[in-house]
Amino acid sequence: MQSSMLNYKKEQQESYFTFLILFIVVSFLFLVWILIISMGIIIFKFDPKWALLSLDTWIYTAGFFILFFIFLELMFYFWYNNGNHKIEGEKTNQKYIDDKKLYVYTYPKEAKGGIFSKTYVLIDENSVLNLRCLMISPGELWNQKET
């Protein structure tokens, strides 16, 4: 379940990034279009409504869309960074041996108490794996003491 939630979070992050790219591209295209319209009016002496709308209407339209995109970006940003939507991984106290991160794996996972064998395996120069295998369960241990 944790990994599926993390995948969902990654997908959300990617969709927000895609939306940001879309915002930048649309804003740039509006800017270029307004520059083309203004050059047509000022330099080439075209009719002020040669691009279906007047220059000031295009500027207002671009401003409206840019403000709309900024509003959506802020909404996504605050929704994404809200503490209720953050997904925390497992909180563990990290242990180190000889400045190497220690990863502990216990077999069987639910086993508590009893006698375990401990095997340390060097994974890489920064990591060590501690394999703990249950050799004698607590029930077997206490049954031996009673007899």
**pLDDT at position 1:** 47
Give the sign of the dihedral formed by CA 58, CA 60, CA 64, CA 66: positive
- pLDDT bin (cut points 50, 70, 90) of residue 85 is very low
The string of DSSP letters for 80-121 reads: HTSGGG---------EEETTEEEEEEEESTT--SSEEEEEEE
- Integer Cα distance of 47 and 40 in angstroms: 8
Say if residue 87's pLDDT is above 70: no
pTM of the predicted structure, to 2 decimals: 0.50
- Kindly report the backbone phi and psi dihedral angles of residue 82, in degrees, each rounded to the nearest multiple of 5, phi listed first: -70, 140
Q: What is the pLDDT of residues 39-69, one digit of tens each?
A: 999 999 999 889 999 999 999 999 999 999 8
Q: What is the pLDDT of residues 1-23, one digit of tens each?
A: 455 666 777 777 788 888 889 88
**pLDDT at position 52:** 92
